[in-house]
Structure 1
C-alpha cells in the first residue's frame, strides 16, 4: 500500500510504499481508508512533541479516519496505540474504537470535524455535566476546535457563549456560528485582561485551548472581576497553543472557587471517548455543526503539511 511515512521528526511525512498491515486480533478488521484529517494532534505526533509520543520511527501519522470494510460497512475509528496511523490507503481498525456511520455520510465531513469536535464534546459531557443556561468562555475560539466548541457549547445548552482569540477575521465569523460575544486577545496584558474581565467575569466554564501566558493573564482577570468569587468556575484545559506552563499564584485558589481540570487522553478512558462519538457523529451528519473540509490527495501529503487554511477549514487527506 501507499502511506504518509515519517522517518525523521524534523521533516514532514512523505508519500511512500509501505507494508500493508494485517488484522490479527479478535476485534480487528482491515479497512480501506476514505478520509483522514490533518489535525494539530496529528502534527504534534508526527514531529514527536505530543505527550503520548514514545519516539518510535518510522511511523504513519493519523489519529482517526473514516474507512470502509470489505463488507461495505462505513466506520469512523480512532487509531490503535501503535506507530501505524491512518494516513494510508489501508488501516487496521479495532472495532472497540470504532462506530458505524449511516449510509449517505460524507466521509470528509466526519474526518474533518470529529477530532476537533470531540475535544469540547467530551469535555462538556464527560469531564463535567454542563447545566442548561450556563455561560461558557472559549479561549482560543478562532481555531478549528475552538470554533466547533462555540457551536457545541450552545448545542449542549449553554445560555451564553463567549469566544476569545487573536485573529480578527475569525473572531467576526464566530457570531455567525453561535457566539453571543467575542473578545480580542491582541494588545498589552492589561488591555486584554480588562476586556476578559468585563466580558466574561461571571462565566461558569472556561474551555481553554491556549494555556501559557494567555491563561496566566486570564485567570486572575476573571477571578478578581467576579461579582461572587464563591461561585464555582470550572476551567477545562484542553490545548496548549500559547504555552505548556503557567505560574499560578496560590492566593487565587484560596480567594475564589476555581476548579481546574484537563480533558484528553488519560483523563478520559478510550472507552469513555468512544462512547461519546455516536451522538457527535449524528450532529455532524445532520449538519448541525458547521464543517468545511479542504480535500487534498494523500499523494500530496508533503504539500498538505504546509497548505494554509481559511477560517473554519480542516485539511482532509483522501487516499
Structure 2
C-alpha cells in the first residue's frame, strides 16, 4: 500500500510504498482510510514537540480519521500510540476506539472537525463541572480549535463567551459563531469575571493575562478555573505567584493522560452527531495524500485533510 512515512523528527513525510497493515489484537480491524486531518497534535507528535512523542521511527503519522471497515461501514476512529497512523491507504484500528457514522456524511468535514472540537468538548465535559449559565473566555480563539471552542461553549449553555486572539480580522467571524465579545490578548482584563478559561496558547499570553484578569474580578473569592489545552504560544509560562494568591484560581490541564482514554471515547458519539448534523462550523480542504510533503508545512486557516 501507499503511505506517508517520517524517519526522524526533523524530516518531512515521504509518500511511498509501505507494508500492508496486519490486525493482531482481539478488537483490531484493518480499515480503509477515507480522510485524515492534519492537526496540530499530529505535527507535534511527528516533530517531537508533543509530550506524547515517542521518537520511534519509521512513523506513519495521523492520530484519527474517517475509515471504512471490512463490512463497508463508515467509522470515525481515534488511534492509540502507534507507528501506523492514518496517513496511509489502510491502517489498523481498535474498534472500541471508534464510532459508527451514517453513510451520507462528508468524510472530509468529519475528519477536519473531530480532533479540534474534542479539545474544548472534553475539557468542558470531563475536566470541570461546567454548568449552563456560566461564562467562558477562549484564549486563542482565532485558531481553528479556538473557533470551535466558542461554538461548543455556547452549545453547552454558556451565557457569555469572550473570544481573545491576535488576528483581529477574525473577530467578525467569531461573533457570527456566537462570541458575545471579541478582544485582543492584551485586553484580557475585560474578561475578568468569567468562570472558565479555555487556554489554547499558554506561554507569555497566558501569564500576561492572568494577573490583570484576577485583580479586576468583582469578587476575587469567586472561583476561576483555567484549563490549559494547547501551547501554541509556548510550552512554559512565567505564572506570577500573586496570581495564585490574589484570587481563587485553579489551573489544570486537559489532554492525553489527564483525561482517561475511556472518557475521550465516551464523548465521541455526541460530538460526531454535532459535527455531522452541521451544528459546528468547520473550514476543511481536501489534499491528496501524495502531496503531503508540500502541504505538511503549509500555514492556513483551513483544516487540511488528506485523502488517499
The two structures share one fold, judged by TM-score above 0.5? yes
Paired position in structure 2 for 1:122 = 122
CA distance in 2, matches of 1:3, 1:308: 22
Q: How does 1:197-276 map to 2 (within 5 A)?
A: 197=189, 199-276=190-267
1:189 alignment counterpart? none
Aligned to 1:293: 284
How far apart, CA to CA, are the structure 1 residues paired with 2:192 and 2:242?
Answer: 18
Within-5 A mapping of 1:66-77: 66-77=66-77
Is the counterpart of residue 317 in structure 1 residue 291 in structure 2? no
Name the SS for the 2:264 alignment partner.
Answer: helix
Q: Per-residue CA shift, 1:22-49, capped at 9, x if unaligned?
A: 0111100000000000000001111121
| Runs of 4+ residues over 4 Å off in structure 1 | none
Quote how far apart the aligned CAs of 1:252 are.
Answer: 2.2
Map of 1:26-45 to 2, 5 A cutoff? 26-45=26-45
Contact kept, 8 Å, 1:150 with 1:178, in 2: the verdict is yes
The aligned residue for residue 98 of structure 2 is 98
The alignment covers a number of residue pairs equal to 308
SS at match of 2:149: helix
Distance apart, 1:7 and its partner CA:
1.1
Q: Where in structure 1 are there 5+ consecutive unaligned residues? A: 186-191
What is the CA distance between 1:171 and its match in structure 2?
A: 2.3
Distance in 2 between residues matched to 1:57 and 1:213, nearest whole Å: 33
Q: Counterpart in 2 of 1:188?
A: none
1:234 deviation in Å?
0.4
Deviations 1:126-183 (A, max 9, x none): 1112111111000000001000000000011000001111012122311011111111
Q: Do the aligned partners of 1:3 and 1:16 also contact (CA within 8 Å) in 2? A: yes
Q: Tell me, in whole angstroms, the C-alpha distance in 2 between the residues paired with 1:252 and 1:292.
A: 37
Task: Give the aligned CA root-mean-square deviation in angstroms.
Answer: 1.0
* Superposition deviation, residue 184 in structure 1: 1.4
For 1:291-318, what per-residue CA distance to the aligned partner results, in whole angstroms no more than 9, with x for missing partners? 22110000111111133324xx200000
Residue in structure 2 matched with residue 63 of structure 1 by the alignment: 63
Q: Which runs of 5+ in 2 are unaligned?
A: none
CA distance in 2, matches of 1:160, 1:83: 42
SS at match of 1:267: coil
Shift of 1:247: 2.1
Contact 1:36 1:65 in 2 (8 A): yes
Scaled by the length of structure 2, the TM-score of the pair is 0.98
**Residues 74-223 of structure 1: pairs in structure 2 closer than 5 A:** 74-185=74-185, 192=186, 195-197=187-189, 199-223=190-214
Secondary structure of the corresponding residue to residue 3 of structure 1: strand
What is the deviation of 1:59?
0.2
Q: What is the CA distance between 1:254 and its match in structure 2?
A: 2.2
| 8 A Cα contact 1:117 1:149, kept in partner | yes
